Amino acid sequence: MTTRSRCRLQLIEIQKRIVEKLQDEIRASLKKPGKELLRYHHEYEAEFSNFLRCSTMNELIVAASKAEIIYNGDYHTMAQAQRIPLRILRALVEKRSKITLALETVHIEHQKILDRFMRDEISEQQFLEAIDYNKTWGFPWENYRDLFIFAKDNSIRVVGMNSEDNRGRGALRRRDRQAAEVIASEYINDRDRLVYVFDGDLHVAPSHLPREVDEKLARHGLKARSLIIYQNNENIYWELARRGLEQETDVVVIDENKFCVITTPPVIKFQSFLNWIENTRELASPYPKSWGPEWTGNCDLYAQILDLVRIITEFLGIDVAGLDDFTVYSTADLDFLDDLRDNYKLTLSEIRTIAEHIGNNESYFIEKANIIYIANLSINHAAEEATHFIHKTCAGARRENLSRVEDFYCRVMREALGFFGSKIVNHKRKSPKLEDFTHIRRKYSTKPPEKIEDLKIIGHFARRHKQLEQTYLQTGKMWRTGGEMYELPLRLHIGLTHALGYMLGNEMFEALIAGYMNKRFIKDLFFKNFSDLEESLGTYLSLVERLCPIETTSGGNKG
């Protein structure tokens, strides 16, 4: 086995562990699944024990153009999933004159309101209010909106197929039966019409919604040519990645009349669910490199990060050369570690540090190579790493071989600037507070046990640091910068410096908005390197004095 393949397999294993943790968090955030949901999930997963061969989007379009009913699976929280049917429909309108788009997004009972919206008799806002979109569906409207607009522009009939019958034993089956009535009716009423069904990924497995439709059609002596399009199954992705084919393969054939589109890594898929829970906006997902501009448009990660860089620098009035001189990698790039070693000459120790960040599912700015690594498509995280790049461009790279204490306060100050920059993009972003670490199990109830234990340790030292700050403010005496707090394992060292930096960055932003700190002062901070302890700790203490009044109780700080 070559070193390159070992590195690739190492990164695959890291991502698998991250996905397992994300799935644990998702399960913890949901109600305990019932027997029917578990059976649905098991029957869905059974579809992906293997696949026949790699395919292409062109082959998929040809197969779709010959079908009479198409079932396209949806992962509701991931914007990429809603773009796939739109791109397939763009090709199909050239081949099929009559198309019905059946959507889980709208309930059957709201069909008359939907018809009025499609005829432009009511506005978009009136439509959303009339169907109570946030309550009856709730997933980001902007991700589904283009499907409705495209259908309007291309005379595609749109029907709702969702229903309220979602409680009690057999709820999933009843919902599929009601959706099947809509689909079968569309097909029976016009045999020349293609019915394109966009439903949750569990529903489109053959033994679920497709079987219900087949049974209803059989009662009329009919059988439709059907096609199933799955999306982004992780088992298929891991196998393609193992073979080194994940970048060049965008479609696989599962079985006869079954395809799976592969457009994004499993990490992005499952992280999107947690981002949705936290109401966090996301960047557009990276597309397979085999897709040309006619499919992707201008939504590559580099262009999106560059937009964030421009927003932040324009706000602060920073105008220096090199603000476009960076490279972006994401979880879709499984040759990432190899590229670092081969093309950027990073040492094994440096690569191990980067792997630690990747293993913790953290976005990361690698200043030695001007690389922004995006682990999570959250706008907050992307803006934070864009800010780190801006700071490095203004102040230069860190000095090498920093002591543990120098590294500690350098990281704290850089994290403070990073969080501040992310607040420019999203002023609603929340910073951790000391009390969050007091009630960890309640605040972070979905976190796995090992993460909870880490947060307990981080919280202990964050409170200790704030106590030292209060003593300093009261007496003017500096504490001893040594001991256990500065010698923590790397993951805890990173976690603690993040926590202290985030809290400071949040206070800086609030001070700016309140008018007792000006942009010029903050802009000047971007030109400080923070490699020297006098500069990093000195700046930190001056900001503490400026922002934090003396507390009368232990452990408090102004948030």
pLDDT tens for 434-484 read 888 877 766 666 677 888 889 999 999 999 999 999 999 999 999 999 899
Whether 171 shows a pLDDT value over 80: the answer reads: yes
Q: For 108-125, give the secondary structure using H, E and C.
A: HHHHHHHHHHHCCCCCHH
Burial 195-231 (b: 16+ CB within 10 A, else e): bbbbbbbbbbbbebbbebbbebbeeeeeebebbbbbb
Compare 427 and 126 and report the one with higher pLDDT.
Answer: 126
Strand partners, 55: 251
133-153 pLDDT, tens digit each = 999 999 999 999 999 999 999
Q: For 295-308, give the secondary structure using H, E and C.
A: HHCCCCHHHHHHHH
Q: What is the identity of the amino acid at 487? A: E
Please count the other Cβ atoms lying within 10 Å of the Cβ belonging to residue 259. Answer: 23
Whether 296 shows a pLDDT value over 50: the answer reads: no
The closest alpha carbon to 388, from 420, 352, 424, 428, belongs to: 420
CATH ID of 35-263, from 3.40.50.11550, 3.40.50.2000, 3.40.50.1820, 1.10.287.1080: 3.40.50.11550
DSSP assignment string, 266-292: HHHHHHHHHHHHTT--BPPPPPPTT--
Q: Where are the domains of the chain?
A: 1-32+273-397, 35-263, 402-559
30-89 pLDDT, tens digit each = 888 889 989 999 999 999 988 999 999 999 999 999 999 999 999 999 988 999 999 999
Q: Which pLDDT score is estimated for 13?
A: 86
H helical segments located in 265-403: 266-277, 293-296, 301-316, 336-343, 348-359, 379-395
Q: Which pLDDT score is estimated for 301?
A: 84
Q: Which of the four pLDDT bands, split at 50, 70 and 90, describes residue 6? A: low
504-552 pLDDT, tens digit each = 999 999 999 888 888 999 999 999 999 999 999 999 999 999 987 544 3
Between the alpha carbon of residue 199 and those of residues 82, 102, 215, the distances in Å are 10, 8, 18
| φ, ψ at 426 (rounded to 5°) | -135, 95
The closest alpha carbon to 230, from 446, 394, 73, 42, belongs to: 73
Alpha carbon 201 to its chain centroid, in Å, reads: 18
Burial 389-427 (b: 16+ CB within 10 A, else e): bbbbbbbeebeeebeebbbbbbbbbbbbbbbbbbbbbee
Q: Which pLDDT score is estimated for 487?
A: 95
- Would you say how long the chain is, in residues? 559
pTM (predicted TM-score): 0.76
Name, in order, each residue with C-beta under 8 angstroms of 154's C-beta and a sequence gap of 6 or more: 89, 93, 99
Q: Which pair of tokens denotes residue 192? A: 């020349």
Q: Which pLDDT score is estimated for 444?
A: 67
Strand partners, 329: 373
Which segment, 99-113, 447-461, 479-493, is predicted with the most confidence on average?
99-113
Q: Which of the four pLDDT bands, split at 50, 70 and 90, describes residue 397? A: very high
229-256 pLDDT, tens digit each = 999 999 999 999 888 888 789 999 999 8
Between the alpha carbon of residue 418 and those of residues 9, 103, 421, 496, the distances in Å are 31, 40, 5, 15
DSSP assignment string, 405-454: HHHHHHHHHHHHHHHHHHHHH-TTPPPP-HHHHHSHHHHTTTS-HHHHHH
Q: Which of the four pLDDT bands, split at 50, 70 and 90, describes residue 558? A: very low
- Mean pLDDT score of the chain: 89
351-368 pLDDT, tens digit each = 887 887 787 778 889 888
